[in-house]
């Protein structure tokens, strides 16, 4: 099993309801072919370097996954058939990934994402204390006089 990264550029005129089936189909292909999905990054709509199918913008989605070459071939076959996908590109990231290490990193990232953001009121207090300890120009002039 190898680690891959696949980028797709979807038609920017698609609504969210029209984009979701493409992403869900990729998830289905991954599960059917024994792949392991690490992450999906939706980068959103961006300007293209050149027009594709008379479109100046595209909706970017990145899939990070582990799988076989057959899985990548099946995903790319689906992308070629589906008219909603303007372009796609798959890149081999790691020929021998450590799946257990990746799962641990995913669990750690998920735990950090679920942890509530801690508010540290000490930072403003420390900044105020530091400002008080710094002499100001008016204090220096009073001492000289």
- Rounded to whole angstroms, the Cα distance separating 90 from 113 reads 28
3-23 confidence digits (pLDDT tens): 999 999 999 999 999 999 999
**Any idea which fold 2-102 has?**
Alpha-Beta Plaits (3.30.70)
Q: Is the pLDDT score of 108 beyond 80?
A: yes
Give the chain's length.
Answer: 145
The fraction of the chain above a pLDDT of 90, given in percent, is 65
With bands split at pLDDT 50, 70 and 90, how would you rate the model's confidence at 114?
confident
64-103 confidence digits (pLDDT tens): 999 999 999 999 999 999 999 999 999 999 999 888 888 8
| Torsions phi, psi for 16 (to 5 deg) | -60, -40
The secondary structure of residue 95, as a DSSP letter, is S
Q: Where are the domains of the chain?
A: 2-102
The secondary structure of residue 119, as a DSSP letter, is P
Give pTM, 2 decimals.
0.74
């Amino acid at each position: 099993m190898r680690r891959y990264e696949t980028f797709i550029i979807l038609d920017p005129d698609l609504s969210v309801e029209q984009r979701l089936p493409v992403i869900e189909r990729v998830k289905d292909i991954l599960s059917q072919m024994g792949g392991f999905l690490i992450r999906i990054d939706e980068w959103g709509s961006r300007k293209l370097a050149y027009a594709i199918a008379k479109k100046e913008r595209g909706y970017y989605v990145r899939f990070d996954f582990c799988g076989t070459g057959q899985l990548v071939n099946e995903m790319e076959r689906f992308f070629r058939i589906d008219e909603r996908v303007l372009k796609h590109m798959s890149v081999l990231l790691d020929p021998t990934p450590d799946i257990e290490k990746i799962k641990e990193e995913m669990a750690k990232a998920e735990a950090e994402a679920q942890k509530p953001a801690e508010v540290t009121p000490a930072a403003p207090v420390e900044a105020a204390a530091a400002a008080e300890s710094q002499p100001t120009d008016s204090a220096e002039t009073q001492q000289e006089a």
